[in-house]
A and B are shown apart, each in its own frame.
Chain A
């Protein structure tokens, strides 16, 4: 297992190196000049030259790339061209918000989704199964921004129960923070919850029909033990893969939900930076997201071994 982890970590480093080349190349190929965006229509040629030199954009592209990579390796992401702030600091304020909001949505979707999936599988063909399946399908099919707008209309404007927008850390103002979290967290959890429910249901259905489950029943094992101990554990492999992918999404944040609820997370940062061609931020964000996704995949692979002891890596 140790050698497998080391091997995967080395692969991850290669992947991240390729990501740096890819994101750097793409960002430099995309049209647009961030200095023109920064200076606006009153810019003079002298000003453009001054700021281009200040941000090192007058240097050859290869020099810019190696300078960026070497700085990142030393923990320095550089200074944002548009935000005029240290990118490390900028990400350090945005990332925790995205992870917190996304994390809550993740927990809700995993716990509720798996529970609903198991119940639907156990009660297959019944009313509860239909109810869960239809709700899950609706959850996957409904556009999130539309649900968000309806939610704001109903709960904020008509009923006045929840605030329209904003984010407050719970340590700063518990009540306000919770109220502001309810709608974005529920919306963020809608699609993953639906996906996990469906995935758990179909995986469980497959396992429940296996011979060893029948054997367990004939041995007189309690249904609860059969479902939780024997069936669920074996059904978890495809679910874990899905959970791993969803975990990676946590870091990127949801652009739509962050935009609609004015949450200052990674999603809005990425969009703003892309639109204004602040490529240093985009490069750094993509690199961080890629790192987290790669580590999540590694964690999923390791988890397989724990869940199903038959899986062993060499």
Chain B
């Protein structure tokens, strides 16, 4: 009897352990498959461009009636706290959530140029310092009120009231007629047209005045192809088709549900289980897994429009810091093999760069030399700077960047810079951004080509982010101002090239490393959604359709 019990007990124990081992085995199997299949990823991603072209051809082949109907479920792993009062939306990410319902005067096309949306055309006059918009006729807000020059003016005023930098250059506005709005600028600003046209999203003044700001935040009333349906905070936002949308025959979908799963692993499982149709994804290992499965289209955002660049920056404003010496800053560049880091850490899901923006973008200057990996040169420069034996410094980093930080620490150790990686939380890092820091931190920047606007947010003396810890050379400030005053695109590009040369080759204010290429993973039956095709924070919900 005792023996029988013992055998029974052992059998139970073994089967119990076996169950867990099989489960664990199942999961590790999949990751092994995925990692060994690394080549596939590049293939699939480059396939995606062909997929996209085939999607386009699909869309042209499909008749309009084929496109109608269905619910598109997508996940954006980001917080969303203000749906309907865009003047107080404080980053560009929420735009993805509100694109179905709110629209701006213009949005970017694939080349990064503005294309008409609620404005049909615009005219800029640098001499007179004016921008005049011709607005689209026959457009109504979802509450049935008209969109016209008065409502556009009211919306821009809301942005001015909360001192949004995008509208800071506006001095006054004139309604010339029902559909013509003229903006008078305080001084000419070459970034004003882009900022105002893309960032100011229109809501119904009537709905806002009747219900107040708090109501508006939770109830977006715009002119978009979809009407707000429901917002379960931190869970999901849903929209239903706008039957009276101004673009004839659109939209195609019946409904859009945008969920907010913050855990990427959960979201990927949800995508695999068919609960969602697409998702934004950052984790390169998860991207590889999806890629290896061959069941999804991965859309890589590689045009740099709206992307966030990752670099390194030392506290050059402190005269006692080694980084106040330009030779040390240049040595930093030569000491780190950015290309190798990009391949190993980012696994190809990022574009390495030696300046602000990705190669081929508007302000990208091919003549910038940058700092190709050369540890011997780095040592020489350190010697010339008075640090023949290197020096010790701190490097503040968030836990999620542990691998990159450790690699950088290793590179710098090889030229004699002893780096102590201080892992801290994002709130502490944010505090550094707003003040100054000691040693090195990552330099996150909107790597878009409009340098006076985006680079100025860091390099201008009165800027907030990073400005306290970096030097502000007079030459760079003058160039940024010149670019701001540029009267046409060519002139702005020429000055932008000079800025890149000066900031990176001459002063080495920061070390640009790479522009992470965000990936949108989706089911192959989802078409023309526009995710990652233009600006990173915008898509085309009116064109999206699901193949049966």
User: Which residues of A218-247 are within 8 A (CB) of B?
Assistant: none
Complex Cα distance, B261 from A272, in Å, reads 12
Decide yes or no: A33 and B430 within 8 Å by CB, A131-B12, A165-B275 being known contacts: yes
Q: With an 8 A cutoff between CB atoms, is A207 at the interface?
A: no
* Partner-contacting stretch, out of B43-51, B62-70, B266-274: B266-274
Report the nearest A residue to B8, measured CB to CB: A127
What is the number of residues of chain B that contact chain A, defined by CB distance less than 8 Å? Answer: 57
> Which range holds the interface residue count of chain A?
35 or more
Decide yes or no: A160 and B168 within 8 Å by CB, A127-B9, A264-B234 being known contacts: no
Judge whether B79 and A272 touch: CB under 8 Å: yes
Contacts of A44 in B (CB 8 A): 163, 165, 168, 462-464
Decide yes or no: A154 and B430 within 8 Å by CB, A45-B462, A149-B265, A164-B270 being known contacts: no
Q: With an 8 A cutoff between CB atoms, is A213 at the interface?
A: no
Q: How far is the CB of B141 from chain A (nearest CB, A)?
A: 22
Q: With an 8 A cutoff between CB atoms, is B496 at the interface?
A: no
Q: With an 8 A cutoff between CB atoms, is A17 at the interface?
A: no
Q: How far is the CB of A47 from chain B (nearest CB, A)?
A: 5
Please tell me which one of the listed residues B91, B233, B235, B425 contacts residue A40 in the complex, with CB atoms under 8 A apart.
B91
Contacts of A302 in B (CB 8 A): none
Q: With an 8 A cutoff between CB atoms, is A83 at the interface?
A: yes
Judge whether B79 and A276 touch: CB under 8 Å: yes
Q: With an 8 A cutoff between CB atoms, is A134 at the interface?
A: yes
Q: With an 8 A cutoff between CB atoms, is B204 at the interface?
A: no
Complex Cα distance, B79 from A80, in Å, reads 13
Complex Cα distance, B263 from A154, in Å, reads 19
Judge whether B426 and A275 touch: CB under 8 Å: yes
Contacts of A42 in B (CB 8 A): 90-91, 165-166, 446, 457
Complex Cα distance, B444 from A41, in Å, reads 9
Contacts of B261 in A (CB 8 A): 165, 262
Q: With an 8 A cutoff between CB atoms, is B217 at the interface?
A: yes
Q: With an 8 A cutoff between CB atoms, is B128 at the interface?
A: no
Contacts of B20 in A (CB 8 A): 150
User: Which residues of B427-476 are within 8 A (CB) of A?
Assistant: 427-428, 430-431, 433-434, 444-446, 457, 462-465
Please tell me which one of the listed residues B79, B91, B163 contacts residue A47 in the complex, with CB atoms under 8 A apart.
B163
Decide yes or no: A158 and B26 within 8 Å by CB, A41-B445, A134-B13, A264-B234 being known contacts: yes
Q: How far is the CB of B525 from chain A (nearest CB, A)?
A: 19
Contact with B along A261-282 (1 / 0, CB 8 A): 1101000110010011100000
Judge whether B428 and A31 touch: CB under 8 Å: yes
Complex Cα distance, B269 from A138, in Å, reads 26
Contacts of B82 in A (CB 8 A): 84
Contact with A along B227-259 (1 / 0, CB 8 A): 000001111000000000000000000000001
Q: How far is the CB of A276 from chain B (nearest CB, A)?
A: 7
Q: How far is the CB of A185 from chain B (nearest CB, A)?
A: 17
User: Which residues of A154-199 are within 8 A (CB) of B?
Assistant: 154, 156-158, 160, 163-167
Q: With an 8 A cutoff between CB atoms, is B402 at the interface?
A: no
Contacts of B463 in A (CB 8 A): 44
Complex Cα distance, B273 from A150, in Å, reads 14
Q: With an 8 A cutoff between CB atoms, is B145 at the interface?
A: no
Q: With an 8 A cutoff between CB atoms, is B162 at the interface?
A: yes
Q: With an 8 A cutoff between CB atoms, is B3 at the interface?
A: no
Q: With an 8 A cutoff between CB atoms, is A38 at the interface?
A: yes
Decide yes or no: A46 and B270 within 8 Å by CB, A82-B81, A127-B5 being known contacts: no
Contacts of A150 in B (CB 8 A): 20, 23-24, 27
Complex Cα distance, B446 from A275, in Å, reads 22
Contacts of A261 in B (CB 8 A): 266
Q: With an 8 A cutoff between CB atoms, is B345 at the interface?
A: no
Contact with B along A66-101 (1 / 0, CB 8 A): 000000000000001011110000100100000000
Decide yes or no: A275 and B266 within 8 Å by CB, A83-B81, A149-B27, A264-B233 being known contacts: no
Complex Cα distance, B444 from A263, in Å, reads 31
Decide yes or no: A46 and B81 within 8 Å by CB, A41-B433, A127-B5, A157-B269 being known contacts: no
Q: With an 8 A cutoff between CB atoms, is A303 at the interface?
A: no
Q: With an 8 A cutoff between CB atoms, is B158 at the interface?
A: no
Q: How far is the CB of A271 from chain B (nearest CB, A)?
A: 9
Decide yes or no: A260 and B266 within 8 Å by CB, A84-B82, A150-B24 being known contacts: yes
Q: With an 8 A cutoff between CB atoms, is A259 at the interface?
A: yes
Judge whether B233 and A93 touch: CB under 8 Å: yes
Q: With an 8 A cutoff between CB atoms, is A16 at the interface?
A: no
Contacts of B168 in A (CB 8 A): 44
Q: How far is the CB of A128 from chain B (nearest CB, A)?
A: 10
Q: With an 8 A cutoff between CB atoms, is B487 at the interface?
A: no
Q: With an 8 A cutoff between CB atoms, is B164 at the interface?
A: yes
Complex Cα distance, B16 from A134, in Å, reads 10
Decide yes or no: A153 and B262 within 8 Å by CB, A37-B430, A84-B81 being known contacts: no
Please tell me which one of the listed residues A38, A85, A164, A264 contacts residue B269 in the complex, with CB atoms under 8 A apart.
A164
Complex Cα distance, B26 from A46, in Å, reads 55
Judge whether A85 and B233 touch: CB under 8 Å: yes
Judge whether B428 and A43 touch: CB under 8 Å: no
Contacts of B272 in A (CB 8 A): 157
Contacts of B9 in A (CB 8 A): 127, 130-131
Q: How far is the CB of B170 from chain A (nearest CB, A)?
A: 15
Contacts of B26 in A (CB 8 A): 153-154, 158
Contacts of A136 in B (CB 8 A): none
Judge whether B275 and A32 touch: CB under 8 Å: no
Please tell me which one of the listed residues B12, B23, B266, B427 contacts residue A37 in the complex, with CB atoms under 8 A apart.
B427
Report the nearest B residue to A39, measured CB to CB: B90
Judge whether B91 and A31 touch: CB under 8 Å: no
Judge whether A152 and B269 touch: CB under 8 Å: yes
Decide yes or no: A165 and B8 within 8 Å by CB, A32-B427, A36-B431, A276-B79 being known contacts: no
Complex Cα distance, B267 from A259, in Å, reads 11
Judge whether B266 and A154 touch: CB under 8 Å: no
| Interchain residue pairs with CB less than 8 A apart (30) | A30-B427, A31-B424, A31-B427, A31-B431, A37-B427, A38-B90, A41-B445, A41-B446, A41-B465, A42-B90, A43-B464, A44-B163, A45-B462, A83-B234, A84-B88, A90-B233, A127-B8, A131-B9, A149-B27, A157-B269, A157-B273, A166-B275, A259-B266, A260-B263, A260-B266, A262-B262, A268-B234, A269-B234, A272-B234, A275-B426
New contact pairs (10) apart from A46-B163, A260-B265, CB-CB < 8 Å: A31-B431, A32-B431, A36-B430, A37-B427, A37-B430, A42-B166, A83-B233, A164-B270, A165-B270, A272-B79
Q: Which 6 pairs show the lowest CB-CB distances between chains A and B?
A: A32-B427, A40-B91, A31-B428, A164-B269, A164-B270, A46-B163
